[in-house]
Chain A
């Protein structure tokens, strides 16, 4: 699977070239306003590239990709739906689930997904009855329920406290390992990027371009302990040195 190159009309990003393998976990880091989110919108097909090509699965992207799941810093759950109904939302929109959708038919699937991220017993709660971390877990489940090929996460843990964030790293790590989904994570947090990703891309200031591609060879499954090792710290330092230099 290859993604091509693209440049957004406002030159938010320029000459970005990424190749992402199926099932790979990549992280994109960079200073704020460097076009990380634009890159994500580009790949998901929400914004067409001004020039260049974008290929997913060998096909040109010219509209929103249905094989994408997205989650943002704000969980954006619908307050009138409980956790389970929020997770079911994509199935009411994406084919082949859409035709013949019924809540009963897919409730089991959604419940299993919620339980896999540790939300057993909270499936019938409404968003305001869930903590910030739980809301974010639900949001990630919503991005995964239709079994997308690519999961796009735009600073999904940005608004959480440090401990909850680390918990969610592990939840995301496990869900990705179990489902072999391709993940593109946009983040400010270098530790988060190194802990979770196979490959980390560093973007420069606007117009954003990729200034560094760093593979993380730390063995999987990774435990939180790994973040305290010298090897981990060295990678973080190496990436940090690249940010803001260009």
Chain B
């Protein structure tokens, strides 16, 4: 990374973030905004430090429920996506059902999950899973369905079976779609876990924020939001790094080769 690139990729976003916090701080102090409406960043960071122990404990719960749900969604989405992309009849049959299912707001499903599994981490994991598998299925199926027919002819003329074509062409070809969908899915899984914690749970950042709000400890609520933002960025960045590692060939326009 040379100097101008460093300036663009590191200095510029850092400066922008700091500026945002400074403006926020100045506005809160200048306009004398009450702590219970909008705490200044200094108050939020103060709360973050003061309550670091419960915040870390609860972040950990949110993180692992998100990851567990995401992992299940990845495996399930990959299998279902390959199945749907494999066979047109399967595609025609499953797709409308999935669209219907996907259009149900997942927050409405959480009470049912709590009814079945009780308060705890399982509803959060399942909500994260349910909300995040759909984009994976759709992307994998699309990647498989758009294999060039001529390329298929080349292989079929050699006597390749459907499985051969999948293994040699279909699956590698759909990998960029798959990894692209993971970036969307991880964000959704995170949303799902937090939504579930907010509706009903005994642990997690969502639950912590709910409790803090009930007792008007607004700086803790904002500290929770801050932690969520940082976790969200970290999860997204990790997935994007995995994507770049495995599908570098799909980004050939860029200078990362």
List A residues at the B interface (Cβ < 8 Å): 41, 44-46, 63-66, 68-72, 74, 76, 78-80, 89-90, 92-94, 126, 128, 142-143, 146, 152
Contact yes or no, B157 A76, CB < 8 A: no
Contact yes or no, A66 B158, CB < 8 A: yes
Distance between Cα atoms of A92 and B172 in the complex (Å): 15
- Shortest distance between the CB of A27 and any CB in chain B (Å): 19
Contact A64:B172 (CB < 8 A) given known A76-B148, A76-B150, A79-B249: no
Residue of A nearest to B154 (CB): A70
Give the residue of B153, B164, B168, B252 whose beta carbon is less than 8 angstroms from that of A79: B252
B154: chain A residues at CB < 8 Å are 70-72, 76, 142-143
A64: chain B residues at CB < 8 Å are 156-159
Please name 19 further chain A to chain B contacts, defined as beta carbons within 8 Å, in addition to the given A64-B157, A89-B168, A142-B154, sorted by A numbering.
A41-B153, A64-B156, A64-B158, A64-B159, A68-B158, A70-B153, A72-B154, A74-B150, A76-B148, A76-B150, A76-B154, A79-B249, A79-B252, A80-B250, A90-B158, A92-B168, A94-B158, A126-B249, A126-B252
B155 beta carbon closer than 8 Å to chain A:
yes
- Shortest distance between the CB of A21 and any CB in chain B (Å): 21
B241 beta carbon closer than 8 Å to chain A:
no
B151 beta carbon closer than 8 Å to chain A:
yes
B residues contacting the other copy or chain, number (CB 8 A): 21
Distance between Cα atoms of A47 and B204 in the complex (Å): 60
Contact yes or no, B150 A146, CB < 8 A: no
Q: Among the interface residues B150, B151, B159, B169, which one has the most CB atoms of the partner chain A within 10 A?
A: B159
Give the residue of B153, B156, B249 whose beta carbon is less than 8 angstroms from that of A80: B249
Contact yes or no, A93 B155, CB < 8 A: yes
B160 beta carbon closer than 8 Å to chain A:
yes
A70: chain B residues at CB < 8 Å are 153-154, 157
B249: chain A residues at CB < 8 Å are 79-80, 126
Contact yes or no, A80 B158, CB < 8 A: no
Contact yes or no, A74 B153, CB < 8 A: no
Pairs across A and B, CB under 8 Å, 15 listed: A46-B157, A64-B158, A64-B159, A66-B158, A68-B157, A72-B154, A76-B151, A79-B249, A80-B175, A80-B247, A89-B168, A93-B158, A93-B160, A93-B164, A94-B159
Contact yes or no, A79 B157, CB < 8 A: no
Distance between Cα atoms of A63 and B158 in the complex (Å): 10
Distance between Cα atoms of A79 and B247 in the complex (Å): 10
B151: chain A residues at CB < 8 Å are 76, 78
CB interface residues, B 155-198, toward A, < 8 Å: 155-160, 164, 168-169, 172-173, 175
